[in-house]
Amino acid sequence: MINISGGNVDVKSLEMKDIMDISALQKFLDDFAIGMNCAAVAVDINGNEVTKPSDYRPFCQDFIHKSAVGDARCAECHKRFGEEAAKSGKPYIGQCHAGMVDFATPVMIDGIQIGTILGGQILEKEPDEMKIRTVASEINVDPDQLVEAAHKADIVPAKSIAAAADVLFIVVNELARTGYNRIETQALVENMSDSFKQISETIDNLAQSAQTITENQDALSTEIGGIETTARDIANIVTSIGKVADRTKMIGLNASIEAARLGNDGRSFSVVAKEIRNLAENTKQTAGQITSLNEQISEKVKDTTTKSTDTLGATQDQSAAMEELSATVTNMLEQTERLKNLFK
């Protein structure tokens, strides 16, 4: 199972089947085995076969692997050859337990082995019959038949074996790297897609908040407008009060004149006239104070209205910017989805 975290692929979790088309690999190894006159098979890091054997020779197919002991020894050789190849990071050529020349090419991703391609079941020279008979007795197969099968193995110069191993190493590792790049790109695209979705959700939330602020600012502006109207009404009332006070003062003045004309008979009337004038003066002073306070309120309302209007404009600009950014992110999400589909 491939382990992916934050768009990064855990190479140690990879197997050959995760990054390579096994059917395509099988076809390549079949053709390689025929073209190079050797056997070939892909195994995992534990020596277990990943592909079916390609052009296995009778010596191995009909005798060595038919024996439980021989088959177990082959598995051990597969693992050992793979480990030796992984250590050097290049093909390893050696002699198997039965005397055949085999080679192992490591399948590497970023310095980590994920499998091995084994080839060989060939000889560099005529077989050592004495050794072949010893092997036959150890794995319980007919010595004469095993010797006969050994003589049917292809004899290939060491230089040609090394060249075949190098070709196999280059091609298979290029296939592995291409497959790994595909998985890594897909992982990155999926991670980007998730990140864009989170960004999009955050933008939506911010846009909703901006909309709420805009609505509240609109409501505040309406309320402020109502206060301005009320202030104007108060100003009109105060003006009326001032006019009444002036008229009352005039009435008091006329009453004083009339009281003076009447002499002692108008003394009490004079007192009333004086109180009327005092009332008029006090009323006018109060009206003046109210006017001053109302002017202060009006001035503060104007300042608040200006600030509210500026805030509303900024919020509307922010909301518009959020909508534009959201559209951009949505477009990028669509593109990442298209990229993801390319790897399916």
Cα–chain-centroid distance for residue 136? 59
- 202: CATH: 1.10.287.950
Asked whether residue 134 falls in the same domain as residue 253, the answer is no
Asked whether residue 242 falls in the same domain as residue 334, the answer is yes
pLDDT confidence of residue 34: 92
Asked whether residue 201 falls in the same domain as residue 291, the answer is yes
Number of domains in the chain: 2
Instruction: Spell out the residues 6+ positions from residue 279 whose beta carbon is closer than 8 angstroms to its own.
Output: 248, 252
Nearest CA to 54 out of 75, 67, 35, 79 is that of 35
**Partner residues linked to 12 by β-bridges:** none
Asked, for residue 301, whether it belongs to a domain, the answer is yes
Each residue's pLDDT, cut to its tens digit, for the chain (344 residues) gives: 666 666 577 777 788 888 899 999 999 999 999 998 899 999 988 878 899 999 999 999 999 999 999 999 998 888 889 889 989 989 999 999 999 999 999 999 988 899 999 999 999 999 999 999 999 999 999 999 999 999 999 999 999 999 999 999 999 999 999 988 888 777 777 766 666 677 667 667 766 766 776 676 666 667 666 666 766 766 676 576 666 556 666 665 665 676 566 666 555 556 555 665 666 566 667 656 666 765 666 676 566 666 666 666 666 666 676 677 677 767 666 766 656 665 55
Instruction: Spell out the residues 6+ positions from residue 141 whose beta carbon is closer than 8 angstroms to its own.
Output: 63, 64, 66, 67, 70
SS (H, E, C) the chain: CCCEECCEECHHHCCHHHHCCHHHHHHHHHHHHHHHCCEEEEECCCCCECCCCECCCHHHHHHHCCCHHHHHHHHHHHHHHHHHHHHHCCCEEEECCCCCEEEEEEEEECCEEEEEEEEEEEECCCCCHHHHHHHHHHHCCCHHHHHHHHHCCCECCHHHHHHHHHHHHHHHHHHHHHHHHHHHHHHHHHHHHHHHHHHHHHHHHHHHHHHHHHHHHHHHHHHHHHHHHHHHHHHHHHHHHHHHHHHHHHHHHHHHHHHHHHHHHHHHHHHHHHHHHHHHHHHHHHHHHHHHHHHHHHHHHHHHHHHHHHHHHHHHHHHHHHHHHHHHHHHHHHHHHHHHHHCC
Asked whether residue 147 falls in the same domain as residue 252, the answer is no
Asked, for residue 72, whether it belongs to a domain, the answer is yes
Asked, for residue 143, whether it belongs to a domain, the answer is yes
Asked, for residue 167, whether it belongs to a domain, the answer is no
Contacts 24+ apart (CB under 8 A), 53-59: 54/26, 54/29, 54/30, 55/30, 56/121, 57/100, 57/121, 57/122, 57/149, 57/152, 57/153, 57/154, 58/149, 58/152, 59/98, 59/100, 59/121, 59/146, 59/149, 59/150, 59/152, 59/153
Q: Which of 112, 130, 156 is the C-terminal boundary of a domain? A: 156
Asked, for residue 264, whether it belongs to a domain, the answer is yes
From CA 261, how far away is CA 267, in angstroms rounded? 10
Asked, for residue 33, whether it belongs to a domain, the answer is yes
Asked whether residue 206 falls in the same domain as residue 152, the answer is no
Q: Are 180 and 115 in contact (CB under 8 A)?
A: no
Stated pTM of the model = 0.60
Asked whether residue 296 falls in the same domain as residue 218, the answer is yes
Asked whether residue 96 falls in the same domain as residue 209, the answer is no
Asked whether residue 215 falls in the same domain as residue 309, the answer is yes
Asked whether residue 147 falls in the same domain as residue 34, the answer is yes
Q: Are 182 and 176 in contact (CB under 8 A)?
A: no
Domain that holds residue 10: 4-156
Instruction: Spell out the residues 6+ positions from residue 125 whose beta carbon is closer than 8 angstroms to its own.
Output: 155
Asked, for residue 183, whether it belongs to a domain, the answer is no
pLDDT confidence of residue 297: 65
Asked whether residue 225 falls in the same domain as residue 138, the answer is no
From CA 191, how far away is CA 188, in angstroms rounded? 5
Q: Which of 102, 135, 156 is the C-terminal boundary of a domain? A: 156
pLDDT confidence of residue 304: 63
- 137: CATH: 3.30.450
Asked whether residue 224 falls in the same domain as residue 328, the answer is yes
Asked whether residue 150 falls in the same domain as residue 22, the answer is yes
Asked, for residue 318, whether it belongs to a domain, the answer is yes
